[in-house]
Amino acid sequence: MVAELAYLAATDAIHMFRSGELAPVELMQAVVQRAQSTEPVINAFTDLYFEDALNQARLAGERYARGEARPLEGLPVAIKEEQPIAGLPLREGSTLLRDNIATETHPIVERIMAAGGIVHARTTTPEFCCAGFTHSDLWGITRTPWNIEYSAGGSSGGSGAALAAGSTTLATGSDIGGSIRIPASFNGVVGFKPPYGRVPAMPPNNLDPYCHDGPLARTVPDCALLQNVIAGTHPLDPVSLPAPPPLAIKSAKSLKVALCMNLGDYPVDPDVATATLAAAETLREAGIKVDEIELPWTRAEIMAAAWAHYGAIFAPMIEAAAGDRPVLRYTKDFLDRAGGDYFDALLVEARIQADLASVFERADALICPTSGIPAFLAGEDYLETPLVVDGVRLSHNLEAPLCIPFNMASRCPVLSVPSGLTSTGIPAGLQIVGRPYDDSAVFALGNVVTTANPWYTSWLPAHA
């Protein structure tokens, strides 16, 4: 019963809170028990606020009784540790920042708290969020509950793992190269990279078009629920946009979809390809037109452009935080790779966006795998062990996910949803890429796929 309650959808929980069938404190107790059971193995959390969360949940019950409930009233929300909360630690997975305390609160955390969401825990990241996996000397290894031999992904790995483990109801993430979508894929949950400016961020990250803060959840409606709370302009972020009409899950029957399996030459594991084709067939069965296309991209040019971008913006931020102190070896590798001709990078980004614009002249959305590999091995950084996907040896972990092109095309909303189960026991992920700022289309399509494959209502991960 505890496990079933811990996996309750946020939208269902709110309905039950309002009807009196369930008290917020009962849900929080179930989530806390799940965390206490799973954390020794999964390791999704950095800081726990369970006693305070239970007290807040009791107060939330009183607000429901008075008819004063807010949009997220009483829901447990796990916050990625990278997103600061004033007065609490902000360590970004690095022993170098072990004693660092935040002086400001991230705008989306402010909004979650103001909407009645209860922050019961913070979630793990790799050092400085610069990897597609989550492990560090500070926090250890975060594993996917589906198969603990594998990583939860990164950099929002703790958020994805906590959702899969049932130790939170909603979670936050951030994404500069797939860091929301990779954990969504590896953990069989839903993750949304909003279009640039849709969700406010803090300087200087808000000025980097690759950077996006966004929601993770176990269902598409739950992801929309959290996205509706965090979206909209904020006085701290001059590039943030006014909030659009609230996301509602609409019919997808009139939409047209383009399927591109490899985005040019990204290698894709056969299990992942099979799951992607199954998701495409699910859309067809729902009456949606799906046509397979090719794109003239190469992984090499995409990564060269990304490294130039990271060298101009992301790497200097890490170097400023670290100073001349030693970082973890995967962080050093990231810093060593970052750099290149930024103008040439802009030319590549312009071609990618032009190619997508051409796709969107005849399709409402593009679908492709989230990652070419089901998941990375837990604790592996692939600096000595080769990373091989479908027989192709890759030079860096961020080459395995098919995510970075859509950080370049940053105005495109991207939703990652589970598409099928692989032979590793881990779900594959499907990216649904929309036209610039057309959030509603990706949510409509994602809901079709996930409704046909309800992961957490019929069975649970092996270590849940």
User: Is the pLDDT score of 175 beyond 70?
Assistant: yes
Quickly state the pLDDT bin for 454 (edges 50, 70, 90). confident
In degrees, to the nearest 5, what angle opens at C-alpha 274 toward C-alphas 272 and 280?
105
Q: Which residues contact 422 (CB under 8 A, 6 or more apart)?
A: 269, 271, 272, 275, 374, 428
- Determine, yes or no, domain membership for 278: yes
- Determine, yes or no, domain membership for 330: yes
SS (H, E, C) the chain: CHHHHHCCCHHHHHHHHHHCCCCHHHHHHHHHHHHHHHHHHHCCEEEECHHHHHHHHHHHHHHHHHCCCCCCCCCEEEEECCCCCCCCECCCCCHHHCCCECCCCCHHHHHHHHCCCEEEEEECCCHHHCCCCCEECCCEECECCCCCCEECCCCCHHHHHHHHHCCCCEEEEEECCCCCHHHHHHHCCEEEECCCCCCCCCCCHHHCCCCEEEEEECCHHHHHHHHHHHCCCECCECCCCCCCCCCCCCCCCCCEEEECCCCCCCCCCHHHHHHHHHHHHHHHHCCCEEEECCCCCCHHHHHHHHHHHHHHCHHHHHHHHHCCCCCCHHHHHHHHHCCCCHHHHHHHHHHHHHHHHHHCCCCCEEEEECECCCCCECCCCCCCCCEEECCEEECCHHHCECCCHHHHCCCCCEEEEEEEECCCCCEEEEEEEECCCCHHHHHHHHHHHHHCCCHHHHCCCCCC
Range of the domain at 451: 2-458
- Determine, yes or no, domain membership for 123: yes
Regarding beta strands 212-217 and 190-193, do their DSSP bridges make them parallel or antiparallel, or are they unpaired? antiparallel
**pLDDT top residue among 101 and 456:** 101
User: Is the pLDDT score of 127 beyond 70?
Assistant: yes
Q: Report pLDDT for 460.
A: 60
Does residue 158 contact residue 457 with C-beta atoms inside 8 Å? no
Residue length of the chain:
464
User: What radius of gyration, in Å, describes the C-alpha atoms of the chain?
Assistant: 20
Helices 50-66 and 24-42: crossing angle in degrees, nearest 10, is 160
User: Is the pLDDT score of 36 beyond 90?
Assistant: yes
How do residues 387-425 score in pLDDT, each as one tens digit?
A: 999 999 999 999 999 999 999 999 999 999 999 999 999
Q: Which residues contact 21 (CB under 8 A, 6 or more apart)?
A: none
Residues with a catalytic annotation lie at: 80, 155, 179
Does residue 176 contact residue 213 with C-beta atoms inside 8 Å? no
- Determine, yes or no, domain membership for 463: no
The mean pLDDT value for 146-158 works out to: 98
Q: Tell me the C-alpha distance between 89 and 108, whole Å.
A: 17
- Determine, yes or no, domain membership for 464: no
Q: What is the model's pTM?
A: 0.98
User: Is the pLDDT score of 464 beyond 60?
Assistant: no
- Determine, yes or no, domain membership for 165: yes
Q: Report pLDDT for 2.
A: 75
The mean pLDDT value for 439-446 works out to: 98
How do residues 297-331 score in pLDDT, each as one tens digit?
A: 999 999 999 999 999 999 999 999 999 999 999 99
Q: Tell me the C-alpha distance between 447 and 278, whole Å.
A: 15
Quickly state the pLDDT bin for 455 (edges 50, 70, 90). low
Does residue 146 contact residue 427 with C-beta atoms inside 8 Å? yes
User: Is the pLDDT score of 462 beyond 60?
Assistant: no
Q: Report pLDDT for 89.
A: 98
- Determine, yes or no, domain membership for 272: yes
In degrees, to the nearest 5, what angle opens at C-alpha 398 toward C-alphas 393 and 401?
85
118, with CB counted inside 10 A (0-12, 13-18, 19+), is buried
Q: What is the CATH number of the domain that holds 302?
A: 3.90.1300.10
Q: Tell me the C-alpha distance between 127 and 156, whole Å.
A: 11
Q: Report pLDDT for 3.
A: 79
How do residues 59-96 score in pLDDT, each as one tens digit?
A: 999 999 999 999 999 999 999 999 999 999 999 999 99
How do residues 255-312 score in pLDDT, each as one tens digit?
A: 999 999 999 999 999 999 999 999 999 999 999 999 999 999 999 999 999 999 999 9
Q: Which residues contact 193 (CB under 8 A, 6 or more apart)?
A: 175, 180, 181, 212, 214, 406, 407, 413, 414, 415, 416
The mean pLDDT value for 10-37 works out to: 98
CA-to-CA separations, 461 to 3, 38, 141, 147, in angstroms, rounded: 11, 11, 18, 8
Quickly state the pLDDT bin for 16 (edges 50, 70, 90). very high
Quickly state the pLDDT bin for 54 (edges 50, 70, 90). very high
Q: Write down the mean pLDDT value for the chain.
A: 96
Q: Report pLDDT for 458.
A: 54
Lowest-confidence region among 33-37, 93-97, 112-116, 453-457: 453-457
Q: Report pLDDT for 130.
A: 98
Q: Report pLDDT for 279.
A: 97
Query: Residue 174: CA atoms inside 13 Å, Cβ hemisphere, count?
Result: 30
- Determine, yes or no, domain membership for 63: yes
The mean pLDDT value for 33-47 works out to: 97
- How many domains would you assign to the chain? 1
User: Is the pLDDT score of 235 beyond 70?
Assistant: yes
CA-to-CA separations, 300 to 162, 264, 348, 434, in angstroms, rounded: 34, 10, 11, 24
Q: Which residues contact 284 (CB under 8 A, 6 or more apart)?
A: 290
User: Is the pLDDT score of 459 beyond 90?
Assistant: no
